């Protein structure tokens, strides 16, 4: 196309016209081909969300969840390492001593207050990596829009999973609420993952969460661990 409209070309008018039309036709063929592909059904790259959903990557960074051990004990020990690791400063934790007689967590202390401001969270997953007890992990839920700012601050009520392993949804009656997204764990690579060390070759250094449930192996793995 260069030189077609610059007025300085030495080509004849007819030559320019034919050249321009040939170039335009080349472009039209591309869009025409894509249209035929789309109408035929093979070229479509978008989906009819929210009627259809894409399968998300297994290690998708979605909404957080606070896990429990299979016996029902909370994993969080209130150490605040997640709050320290958070680059967006959106996590607030206050630990407390376990009440004697009815401990909430296996350690000395438990997470008495646990709040995440989802408006500030950047879903980087550093809290998950920082957690020494795998208490906080991420799910695949990403539809978290709220109508008020207050609703975007998730407290322990919303974050902590029930003893049976199911995770509470902020708005369970919402038409977009999909509980299976909350129940789908992201992959959790252990902080001590010995990547590249020959002795650990073939050893799964990956754990599905929330740990209360029985997880299928990750693609490529023979059996689930955890």
User: Which positions touch another protein (CB under 8 A)?
Assistant: 5-7, 13, 16-17, 24, 27-28, 30-32, 34-35, 37-39, 43-48
Q: Which is nearer to another protein, 46 or 157 (CB)?
A: 46
CA distances 130 to 172, 188, 223, 226, Å, are 30, 12, 26, 18
Q: Which is nearer to another protein, 6 or 55 (CB)?
A: 6
Structure tokens at 53: 């959903």
Q: Which is nearer to another protein, 24 or 191 (CB)?
A: 24
Q: Which is nearer to another protein, 48 or 223 (CB)?
A: 48
C-beta of 21: minimal distance to another protein in Å?
9
Classified as helix, coil or strand, 176 is coil
Report the C-alpha gap between 151 and 109 in whole angstroms.
28
Report the C-alpha gap between 216 and 226 in whole angstroms.
11
C-beta of 180: minimal distance to another protein in Å?
24
C-beta of 46: minimal distance to another protein in Å?
5
C-beta of 14: minimal distance to another protein in Å?
10
């Amino acid at each position: 196309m260069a030189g077609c409209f610059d007025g300085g070309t030495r080509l004849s008018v007819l030559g320019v016209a034919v050249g321009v039309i040939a170039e335009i036709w080349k472009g039209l063929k591309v869009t025409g081909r894509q249209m035929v592909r789309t109408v035929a059904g093979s070229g479509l790259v978008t989906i009819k969300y929210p009627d259809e959903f894409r399968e998300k990557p297994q290690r998708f960074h979605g909404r957080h969840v606070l896990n429990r051990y299979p016996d029902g004990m909370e994993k969080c020990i209130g150490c605040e390492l997640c709050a320290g690791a958070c680059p967006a400063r959106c996590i607030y934790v206050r630990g407390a001593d376990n009440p004697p007689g009815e401990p909430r967590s296996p350690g000395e202390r438990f997470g008495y207050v646990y709040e995440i401001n989802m408006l500030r969270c950047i879903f980087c997953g550093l809290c998950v990596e920082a957690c020494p007890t795998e208490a906080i992990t991420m799910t695949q839920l990403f539809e978290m829009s709220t109508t008020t700012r207050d609703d975007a601050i998730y407290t322990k009520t919303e974050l902590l999973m029930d003893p049976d392993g199911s995770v509470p949804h902020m708005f369970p009656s919402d038409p977009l609420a999909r509980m299976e997204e909350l129940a789908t764990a992201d992959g959790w690579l252990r902080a001590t993952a010995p990547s590249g060390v020959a002795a650990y070759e073939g050893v799964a250094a990956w754990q599905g969460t929330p740990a209360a449930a029985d997880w299928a192996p990750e693609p490529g793995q023979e059996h689930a661990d955890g």
